[in-house]
Structure 1
Amino acid sequence: MITVVGTGTGAPLPPDAGAALAGAGLVVGGRRHLAAATTIPDTAERVVLGPLAPALDSIEQFLEKPAERGRVVVLASGDPGFFGIVRALAERFGAERLEVHPGVSSVATAFARLGLTWDDAVVVSAHGRDLRTAVNVCRAHPKVAVLTGPGSGPAELGAALRSSGRVLVVASALGAGATSDADADSGVGSALSTGTAPDSASAPHSDAGSVAHSGERERVERVTPAEAAARDWGPAVSVVLCLDEARVLSPVRTVAGPPSGPAQWALEEGEFTHRDSMITKFEVRALALARLGPRLGEHVWDIGAGSGSVAVECARLGAAVTAVEKTLDGVERVRANAAAHGVYVTAVHGAAPTVLSDLPDPDAVFIGGGGRELPAIVTACARRARRSVVVAMAALDRVPAVRDALVAAGLDCDGVLLQSSRLAPLPGDVTRLAATNPVFLLWGVRPPARDEGVAQ
């Protein structure tokens, strides 16, 4: 049996750790956890929890020894079942061999300091992971908790979210105890006092329920992304909350986590404000969305956004979205449609492809306008899209050039001509079919990378 004890967000070990440690033959944990565990028997082996593989090997070797040598105890920060070491232990040794005593996670503690519920929060780990996923989630959702790590902390997150309109709440040294130091009061939570430092960046747990250096104070600070980007936060940061302050309070919920997806998509044109029917028709939008595949943690561009109907639909499906529109009234229309549907879309005023150089890379791109510049726009987008590009065109003459641009960028290209007829009423309570304008829809998909050295 392997006993896993979550220490929560404070330095002292929880009460139920004592009995487990008293019978331990092997204790695995961070340096500070081991130092705080005063009841470890002198006969017990100790392994500092740094790189994960050697620690797991030590556990396996110990488990092969006679049972009378004692049990294995793993000390971990926060809640070890929340982005923590429980996953690695269960994969290696089986969940049935684990006895887990969870602590309070840093996410729960941080939201508690603000007096906010977190059943509606999206939690994303940037610990040892690409920060772009966390950034995209923060841009798309009003209440996000980001578990940080080296190179993916408040400064890096703030730099990527400068224009997002979000507020960052940086929680450091959580669980360190209260203090009345008024200078540390940021307006979100009072400064609190001492704890111990987070373990090495190579430690396997990323709940960030790690504790701060002795002598440091718990701090919960509200800053703008620009302010976060300008500071050196040190190693004591536990978690960063990214909030849209206008939408942090949600109605009573039944299901925790991010809001469920929309009940329907490819909405009627009447669901959007548009000019002179300049809007992607719902039949075209339905197939475009299927080929774009917008989802949580991804970034989508809508080029030549017009009314922003595609941008709004992608945002409703969970993606972070940037809509590029060359007219000022179009930009305002995109923002109004996004607000009407309760989603956030970054609307950029400018002409593609020139304005694209300042945007973060997309996972998928929809191009609904471009005129004579269309081939150049497709080329620029196809070179940067990580996954797919979808192009809608009314003009037959532009199809070959767009296809060539997609193929030249290394994408697998396909497409259809969409022609639909809608039911329309006639006098006498009868119905006819009214044809919509035909639209060419081409899409390019980036093929999966081939492993080097594999025989072709």
Structure 2
Amino acid sequence: MISVVGAGTGAAPVDGPDWRGVSLAVGARRHLEAAGVPPGVRRVVLGPLAPALDAVAAQLASGGRVVVLASGDPGFFGIVRVLAERFGPRALEVRPAVPSVAAAFARAGLPWDDAAVVSAHGRDPRTAVNVCRAHPKTAVLTGPGAGPAELGAALAGTGLPRTLVVASALGSPGERVEWLSPAEAAARAWPDEVNVVLCLDESRALAAAPRALAGPPRPPAQWALPEEAFEHRDSMITKYEVRALALARLGPRRGDLVWDVGAGSGSVAVECARLGAAAIAVERTADGAERCRANAAAHGVDVQTVHGSAPGALERLPDPDAVFVGGGGGELEPVVALCARRARRAVVVTLAALDRVPAVRAALASAGLRCDGVLLHSSRLAPLPGDVVRLAARNPVFVLWGTRPATEGAPS
């Protein structure tokens, strides 16, 4: 039997392990020192997991119990997963303590049943940054290279209303909980004892109503919204039939970053944000940029809006997972080429001009993307006198897309 004991937010377990019959103790050095491991029990200090798991397997084979000490709730982004995969869930006796996320929200005086929780410990921090961009209430489990300074630097220039609550050394005599702007967090040197960073839009830190389902709001039941759902100029907006196909090929999901280049009304960026992705709308006209901001606010989502012309305006943006390019200005080919080089997964381009299709396909293919596309020509039902309808044809639109082969069918 393996007893997995949570040590709370400090070093010592809330309830000390039962050491009777225990032959091996595994844990971080501070947990082993605080737990009062008896002299006859062999210790394995956690570093790389493989040697520790091999030591546990050898001990179980020779008899005797094993105690594994871990922080907080070891079933929440913790060691229970790898132990269950190696030895099976029935070999584990888990005694969780208060997870650091729960402690951090408690110190902030906030509920956390509506929060997104993301681990940046030993993982690519861009996922945590994108979740912080997209959601008004996020908890980030920190790690080397993904602490308050890095999160603050990534969020400081977005224009999104965010406050960072940095919880350090939770449960210890040196515990600190500090509220800072992203820029203030980026300017500080932080100790290794940071447990959790809460990223909040303080105006939306409380859910509007009691929740039945934990976590961030569910994705909307309806997408590819009608044009009337957005403020736009002279019908200069991606039509909903085109938007539906574009969204299907972009595949926006929580943790992703999507660029909407030549955003116009920002309808694609807003729809991506409604589906949980972080979104950046890039628009060359001042009135168009303002419409993007207004549409994002009207739909209750966070979209960073960049007023500038592509490709120059794209140079300093973080790399996207997917890109939508709308419109057909004179710089279309170099814009598509730049987006194709930097997109991690997919680029979708809509255009009306047949003459530009070969150049766009070539730009996508030159970056190693697998290209495909359709000519989308739809007719909508339109009323006629006498309570009858006719078909009203829309202008045909080419929808081209390129997908990076290594990411096709990849899980979320």
Question: Normalized against structure 2, the TM-score is what?
Answer: 0.96
Structure 1 contact 24–41 (Cα < 8 Å) conserved? no
Q: Is the 8 A contact 1:370 1:377 kept in 2?
A: no
Q: 2:267 aligns with which of 309, 313, 317?
A: 309
Quick check: 1:77 aligned with 2:71? yes
Larger relative contact order, structure 1 or 2 (CA cutoff 8 Å, min sep 6): 1
CA–CA distance in structure 2, aligned partners of residues 395 and 449 of structure 1? 29
In structure 2, what is the equivalent of residue 171 of structure 1? 167
Q: 1:449, 1:113 → 2: CA distance?
A: 40
For 1:445, the equivalent position in structure 2 comes to 403
Which residue is 2:388 aligned to? 430
CA contact (8 A) 1:22 1:41 kept: no
Question: Secondary structure of 2:315's match?
Answer: helix
**1:165: Cα distance to partner?**
2.6
Query: What SS does the corresponding residue of 1:34 show, helix, strand or coil?
Result: helix
Among 129, 142, 146, the residue aligned to 1:148: 142
Match of 2:60 in 1: 63
Distance across 1 between alignment mates of 2:407 and 2:212: 41
Kept after mapping to 2: 8 A contact 1:133/1:297 = yes
Pair 1:377 & 2:374 matched: no
**1:33 paired residue number:** 31
Q: Distance in 1 between matches of 2:367 and 2:28?
A: 48
- Structure 2 equivalent of residue 281 of structure 1: 239
Q: Which amino acid aligns with 1:172?
A: S
**Aligned partners of 2:328 and 2:351 also within 8 Å:** no
Q: Percent identity at matched positions?
A: 72
- Write the letter of the residue equivalent to 1:384: R
**Aligned-pair distance for 1:12?**
3.0
Deviation readout 1:47-101 (Å, 9 max, x if unpaired): 1122211111111111111x3xx31011111110000010111011111100000
CA-atom RMSD in angstroms: 1.2
Do 1:172 and 1:220's aligned partners in 2 also have CA atoms closer than 8 Å?
yes
Equivalent residue, structure 2, for 1:238: 195
Amino acid at match of 1:432: R
CA shift, 1:396, in A, is 1.4
The answer to whether the 8 Å contact 1:5/1:101 transfers is yes
Q: Please give the alpha-carbon distance, in whole angstroms, between the structure 2 residues aligned to 1:246 and 1:220.
A: 20
Does the aligned pair in 2 maintain the 1:126–1:148 contact within 8 Å?
yes
Residue of structure 1 in register with 2:353 after alignment:
395
**Which ranges in structure 2 are unaligned for 5 or more consecutive residues?**
none
Matching residue within 192, 204, 218 for 2:175: 218
- What is the Cα deviation at residue 42 of structure 1? 2.5
Q: What is the aligned counterpart of 2:305 among 331, 347, 352? A: 347
Unaligned 5+ segments in structure 1 are 177-193, 195-216, 451-456
Q: Deviations over 1:221-266 (max 9, x none)?
A: 0011111111111111010000011111102100001211101100
Q: Who is 1:8 aligned against?
A: 8
Distance 2:311 2:379 in 1: 34
Q: TM-score, normalised by structure 1?
A: 0.87
Q: CA deviation at 1:449?
A: 7.9
Query: How many Å separate the matches in 1 of 2:119 and 2:134?
Result: 16
Structure 1 residue 401 displacement after superposition: 1.1
1:154-176 CA distance string (max 9 Å, x none): 11111111123311110001112
Report the Cα offset of residue 22 of structure 1.
Answer: 3.4
Using the alignment, how far apart are the partners of 2:392 and 2:29 within structure 1?
A: 73
Distance in 2, matches of 1:410 and 1:11, equals 50
CA distance in 2, matches of 1:398, 1:240: 47
- Match of residue 160 from structure 1: 154
Which whole-Å CA distance do the structure 2 matches of 1:108 and 1:289 have between them? 35
Distance 2:367 2:70 in 1: 47
